[in-house]
């Protein structure tokens, strides 16, 4: 019982808005940008897809990412601008529109909790080197950050299952797309047992540890999605180049239709 109560407390601390209903709005709304005076940003992006769908679509700017800009001495108002932006579905989900975007290059992440698919075009490292042995590094990161039995908790110990989908590296540091889910018992703030499964989709930046035998260590993390959904399996992951590096200026921009594999 004590263990369950601790899990419940940890869940509340991580996500104070959680209600256990599978709705992204109350659970993960703190993840996405809500700048003050958004009308000062005049960029607008419309992304169209080849088929309709019930999708959550995120636009993540490159300029203020944690691997490029420190959060030290920044205000809450600053950090609201730095966050990823959540799009508004249009045309029965065949498109999505983002209003009030700052000028930047954006990578798009498409999350479909009904088909359990993720499509993303994230530039994970500004100075990534395609000649690096990224598959080898990805396996090393799995061993360093995956669930552990030899220590208590480990990295993000609340989540008892992790999937490491894709990595870019310069040989010293790396950016990684990670899925996490909790299959064990978790409680809502009310004390009710959550019927669904808590899922998280993250980008983490890691570097080689200076201590022998430690492997890779997390430098910083950006959570792109968090929700309680019925599925107790990982999303199928696909990298889609058309979703990468979309330049948004002060005038409306439209791309697509994009066929998602």
* Residuewise pLDDT in 10s, the chain (261 residues): 444 434 443 443 344 333 333 333 345 568 999 999 999 999 999 999 999 999 999 999 999 999 999 999 999 999 999 999 999 999 999 999 999 999 999 999 999 999 999 999 999 999 999 999 999 999 999 999 987 666 555 677 789 899 999 999 999 999 999 999 998 777 666 667 777 899 999 999 999 887 776 789 999 999 999 999 999 999 999 999 999 999 999 999 999 999 999
The number of residues in the chain equals 261
| pLDDT value of residue 3 | 43
**Cβ–Cβ < 8 Å for 50, 259:** yes
Residue matched to tokens 């498409």: 110
Res 215: pLDDT: 85
* Both structure tokens of 80: 């609201």
Query: What pTM was estimated for this model as a whole?
Result: 0.85
* pLDDT value of position 240: 98
Place of tokens 């989908």: 165
Sole residue written with tokens 């960029």: 43
Radius of gyration for the chain, computed over Cα atoms and rounded to the nearest angstrom: 19
Predicted confidence at residue 17, as pLDDT, reads 36
Residue 147, pLDDT score: 79
Name the 3-class secondary structure at 54: coil
d(C-alpha 105, C-alpha 136), whole Å: 29
Rounded CA separation 205/173 (Å): 7
- What is each CA distance from 183 to 5, 66, 188, 196, 223, in whole angstroms? 16, 29, 14, 9, 19
Residue 47 per-residue DSSP state: E
Residues 27, 228 contacting (CB under 8 angstroms): yes
Q: How many CA atoms lie within 13 A of 164 on its CB side?
A: 22
> What DSSP element (H or E) covers 82?
helix 76-82
Q: Which pLDDT value is given to residue 152? A: 52
Strand ranges in 32-160 using DSSP code E only, listed in sequence order? 43-49, 56-61, 85-86, 88-90, 95-101, 104-112, 117-120
The predicted pLDDT at position 183 comes to 87
DSSP element (H, E) containing 25: helix 24-28
DSSP conformation class of 10 = H
Please report the pLDDT score of residue 6 as a whole number.
40
């Amino acid at each position: 019982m004590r263990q369950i109560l601790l899990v419940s407390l940890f869940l509340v601390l991580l996500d104070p808005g959680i209600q256990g209903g599978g709705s992204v709005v109350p659970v993960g709304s703190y993840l996405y940008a809500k700048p003050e005076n958004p009308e000062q940003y005049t960029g607008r992006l419309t992304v169209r897809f080849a088929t309709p769908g019930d999708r959550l679509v995120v636009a993540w700017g490159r300029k203020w990412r944690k691997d490029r800009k420190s959060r030290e001495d920044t205000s809450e108002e600053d950090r609201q601008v730095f966050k990823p932006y959540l799009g508004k579905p249009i045309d029965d989900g065949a498109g999505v529109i983002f209003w009030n975007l700052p000028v930047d290059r954006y990578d798009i992440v498409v999350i479909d909790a009904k088909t359990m698919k993720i499509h993303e075009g994230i530039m994970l490292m500004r100075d990534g080197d395609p000649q690096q042995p990224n598959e080898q590094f990805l396996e090393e990161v799995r061993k360093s950050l995956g669930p552990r039995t030899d220590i208590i908790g480990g990295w993000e110990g609340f989540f008892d299952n992790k999937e490491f989908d894709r990595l870019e590296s310069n040989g010293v540091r790396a950016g990684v797309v990670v899925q996490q889910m909790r299959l064990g018992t978790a409680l809502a703030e009310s004390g009710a047992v959550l019927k669904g499964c808590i899922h998280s989709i993250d980008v983490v930046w890691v570097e080689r540890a200076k201590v022998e035998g430690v492997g890779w260590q997390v430098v910083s993390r950006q959570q792109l999605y968090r929700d309680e959904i019925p599925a107790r399996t990982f999303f199928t992951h696909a990298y889609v180049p058309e979703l990468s590096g979309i330049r948004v200026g002060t005038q409306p921009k439209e791309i697509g239709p994009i066929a998602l594999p």
